[in-house]
Amino acid sequence: MVLDIKNLWGCWREKNYLNYKVYFSFMPQSPCIRTATFDDFKRIVELERLCFQREHAYSRRQLRYLLTKAHSMVLVETLDSVIRGFVIVLFRRGTTVAGIETINVDPVFRKMGIGLRLLSAVEDHLRKDGIRTIRLEVAITNAAAIALYEHAGYHQVMLLKKYYHFTHQGSRDAYRMIKRLG
């Protein structure tokens, strides 16, 4: 007689009358959002390059600064130890406004709710830190990002003419969008 029993650590154990054999099951973990560490830096750079054209992407130096020195919060979304997306938020001490500097989701994993989960996690952290308003800028031609932000409760408050130094998805203009956390 053979029984299969799954234990609490995700291992399968085959039990028969005389011995035990352990087989590790590589069952998928649940998605996790956590604070980024410097160990994540290489993947963050890679995602920035995947998500933005060269002239719009942050450089390695800029990303290193945002991750390690800026007054920022950097969160990553992972599944099975693979970073699928990240968000960087900047804020100043003594103020109740924060700015989303960039949000990136690997193109392979888009349309899976990762961006929305990252935004929600950032908002939860910022509320606890006393932040009451989040702002961001987005190219007026970036329909997917605008739809994400609107779905998350952000609304357009201003058109910023010639905001970008380079043409970004066919335009140099951007919308400023905000969300009150209240």
Active-site amino acid positions: 137, 149
Neighbours of 5 (CB within 10 A): 10
Cα end-to-end span (Å), the chain: 61
Could you count the other beta carbons within 10 Å of the beta carbon of residue 6? Answer: 11
CA dist., res. 32 & res. 23, Å (int): 25
Amino acid type, 68:
T
The residue behind tokens 């750079």 is 45
Structure tokens at 108: 């392979």
Specify the DSSP class assigned to residue 125.
H
Q: Could you give the CA distance from residue 26 to residue 47 in angstroms, rounded to a whole number?
A: 25
Neighbours of 105 (CB within 10 A): 25
The partner residues of 40 in beta bridges, in order of sequence, read none
